[in-house]
Amino acid sequence: MYNRLLKINPKSKESCLLLGPRGTGKTHWITHHLPDALVFNLLKTATFAEFIANPSRLENHIPPNFQNWIVIDEVQKIPALLNEVHRLIESKGYKFLLTGSSARKLKREGANLLAGRALSYTMHPLTCRELGDDFSLDVALKFGLLPKVYSSENAQHYLKTYIGTYLQEEILQEGILRNIGEFSRFLEVASFSQGEVLNMSEVAREAGIKQKIVSTYFQITEDLLIGFKVPIFMKRAQRQLIAHPKFYFFDVGVYRAIRPTGPLDLQSEIDGRALETLFVQHLRAINDYLDLGYTIYYWRTRNGLEVDFVVYGENGLIAFEIKRKRKISTKDLRGLRTFSNDYPMAKLYLLYGGEAPEYHDNITALPILEGLKRLPELLNYTTESTDTDNA
């Protein structure tokens, strides 16, 4: 298995909350990095049945004076356990690692999120740095970066099954909603909004669903960690900007598995969105794993000038434009140049389908693969390398 960039100090004395979509490798990471942990997996029927009946039974399963990690896998299945975990941290000094693939139930039931007593981490799909020589840009753009894609004999079938599992186990079984067919139709329509400025009324019209319900469904995709919004960058705005966020499914393979295709679909449009998705999922992963503290935005004026991604934080202001094309034209640079006029302190990068770096005044253009590999450097990460195992 691949060395992940996620860093949780095994000797830490603080409890942790590890969230991430299903299939991103949370359980595998725990098995390899915390081999002496005491693990309670709530996906196991017997474990779930015992603790749902009485969460306080958790203490009876922990040896006295236990000093190692106590793991509760898929804690969102029984949010009431968090109150018991909180009590045991306070009274016994135990340290917990809690994992979850959904924040929906935790939010809805107002669960005690340990009152700041647990550090929060996120597990993302694989990155090119983690895959190393096994990374293929073509494969990543077609099937995404979920770990099982790289061990499955039929990646396409796995991705279709993955979507079905989420619908069945995270939505139906958790009682999030009853009309699974309507939500499934919503997901398909939402896939056409991948990387687009979000238009709730248009999605509602295409799906044949009320706009208020569509808004709720988008929130569900975020709570289930399978989708996210990117807001508009408006810091000290000097011109009129649009106000609505963009929407993305969290993994390019999941996006392509959800998106229906037909003879009228433009493959170039699908591929372009896939490339943006591949970049932003790397951007989110590196930002979280290296604890860089950036907020991710996009920028677009009302007359259509756009920058795909803008990151802003204590480490600086950086703008990224993503293009599939092999040759760069003056038109491709307009968004970055206009952004630079408003924010002259920003670093500007264009990732494109060519084979060599190019330099256009203050804009650095990099081949896509090179840009992905160098992303920590581009984000001003200058401390020790993250290539080593973090066990």
Res 264: pLDDT: 47
Residue type, 226: I
Report the C-alpha gap between 376 and 287 in whole angstroms: 8
Res 182: pLDDT: 87
> In terms of domains, do 202 and 288 share one?
yes
> In terms of domains, do 167 and 302 share one?
yes
Q: What is the pTM of this model?
A: 0.91
Q: Is residue 9 one of the residues assigned to a domain?
A: no
Residue 83 has pLDDT above 50, yes or no: yes
Of 71, 89, 122, the last residue of a domain is 122
Report the C-alpha gap between 269 and 334 in whole angstroms: 20
Q: Is residue 127 one of the residues assigned to a domain?
A: no
> In terms of domains, do 50 and 190 share one?
no
Residue 16 has pLDDT above 80, yes or no: yes
Q: Is residue 389 one of the residues assigned to a domain?
A: no
> In terms of domains, do 30 and 157 share one?
no
Q: What is the mean pLDDT of the chain?
A: 89
Residue type, 165: T
Q: Of the given ranges (52-56, 109-113, 125-129, 188-192), which has the lowest mean pLDDT?
A: 109-113
pLDDT tens digits along 31-76 = 999 999 999 999 999 999 999 999 999 999 999 889 999 999 999 8
Percent of the chain with pLDDT over 70: 90
Res 386: pLDDT: 41
List strand residue ranges (DSSP E) for the chain, in order.
15-19, 38-41, 69-73, 95-100, 118-122, 227-230, 246-249, 295-300, 306-313, 316-322, 347-352, 358-360, 363-367
Pairing status of strand 15-19 against strand 118-122: parallel
Q: Is residue 8 one of the residues assigned to a domain?
A: no
φ, ψ (nearest 5 deg) of residue 176: -70, -40
Check if the beta carbon of residue 187 is closer than 8 Å to that of residue 206.
no
Check if the beta carbon of residue 321 is closer than 8 Å to that of residue 290.
no
Check if the beta carbon of residue 223 is closer than 8 Å to that of residue 107.
yes
Q: Is residue 243 one of the residues assigned to a domain?
A: yes
Res 19: pLDDT: 92
Of 68, 90, 122, the last residue of a domain is 122
pLDDT band at 378 (very low <50, low <70, confident <90, very high): very high
pLDDT tens digits along 211-231 = 999 999 999 899 889 999 999
Task: Tell me what the mean pLDDT of segment 232-248 comes to.
Answer: 87
**Number of structural domains, the chain?**
2
> In terms of domains, do 295 and 185 share one?
yes
> In terms of domains, do 116 and 136 share one?
no
Res 113: pLDDT: 57
Residue 73 is part of a domain; what is its CATH number? Answer: 3.40.50.300
Report the C-alpha gap between 300 and 304 in whole angstroms: 6
Check if the beta carbon of residue 102 is closer than 8 Å to that of residue 128.
no
Task: Tell me what the mean pLDDT of segment 17-21 comes to.
Answer: 92
Q: Is residue 388 one of the residues assigned to a domain?
A: no
> In terms of domains, do 182 and 325 share one?
yes
Q: Strand order of the sheet with strand 358-360?
A: 295-300, 306-313, 316-322, 347-352, 363-367, 358-360
Residue 112 has pLDDT above 60, yes or no: no
pLDDT tens digits along 299-327 = 999 888 999 999 999 999 999 999 999 99
> In terms of domains, do 94 and 223 share one?
no
Task: Tell me what the mean pLDDT of segment 183-191 comes to.
Answer: 92
Determine the structural domain holding residue 211 and report its residue range. 132-383
Task: Tell me what the mean pLDDT of segment 112-129 comes to.
Answer: 81
> In terms of domains, do 186 and 299 share one?
yes
> In terms of domains, do 225 and 361 share one?
yes
> In terms of domains, do 198 and 327 share one?
yes
Report the C-alpha gap between 79 and 83 in whole angstroms: 8
Of 88, 122, 156, the last residue of a domain is 122
